[in-house]
Amino acid sequence: MELLHERCAALDIGKKDLKACVSTPGPKGKRSRSQEIRTFATTTNALLQLRDWLIAERVSLVVLEATGDYWRAPFYLLEDDLNVMLVNAAHAKGLPGRKTDVCDAAWLCQLGECGLLRASFVPPEPIRQLRDLTRYRTTLTAERSREAQRLEKELEDAGIKLSSVATTFWGSPGGRCWRR
């Protein structure tokens, strides 16, 4: 199969550590390949060491598998300096191959260097920040509503029927709590 990326890397990311595989041309000729697999912690300092290693190896593509939120820290740290491709784990699993921790990074690397993976959309940083902010605001608003309902329930259990005399139980932010 034809190689699209002569120097490719793939990361299999877990909660505490990640396995990184770098595939480069081998010493014996055009068809031989050499792979090196290393383990890095997912702390910022370890991810910076990973980035330095990938840059030193002159990697042209880094493939990451989207697993929960674990992909975010390595992706965000590497995206400014390297060509990073986030792939859906279901797409990689749909292709035949081994699925163990160490072999998964090597398998993703082989798929990436041949161009057999499709990148997932990751919005630019300003859009990500805005999306995180709006999601957080939505969460806070929902929590506020739940707390108002809990308070009303506790008052009802205590025999205080406040909601029957007040039209707005909790009120608006910055406004009065009780309105008649």
Residues of the chain with pLDDT under 50: none
What is the reported pLDDT for 162?
73
pTM of the entire structure? 0.74
pLDDT at res. 29: 66
pLDDT number for residue 32: 81
pLDDT (0 to 100) of residue 4: 86
Summarised one tens digit per residue, pLDDT across range 89-135 is: 777 665 555 556 678 888 889 899 888 888 999 999 999 999 999 99
| pLDDT given for residue 94 in this prediction | 54
Long-range Cβ contact pairs of 20-25 (< 8 A, separation 24 or more) = 20/50, 20/53, 20/54, 20/105, 21/105, 21/106, 21/108, 21/109, 22/53, 22/54, 22/57, 22/59, 22/109, 23/106, 23/109, 23/110, 23/113, 24/57
pLDDT, residue 113, reads 87
| pLDDT of 166 | 66
Q: Are 88 and 115 in contact (CB under 8 A)?
A: no
In the prediction, which pLDDT does 22 show?
Answer: 96
pLDDT, residue 106, reads 87
Q: Give the per-residue pLDDT at 170.
A: 58
**In Å, how far are 21, 27, 72, 119, 145 from 14, measured between CA atoms?**
14, 32, 11, 20, 35
Predicted confidence at residue 50, as pLDDT, reads 97
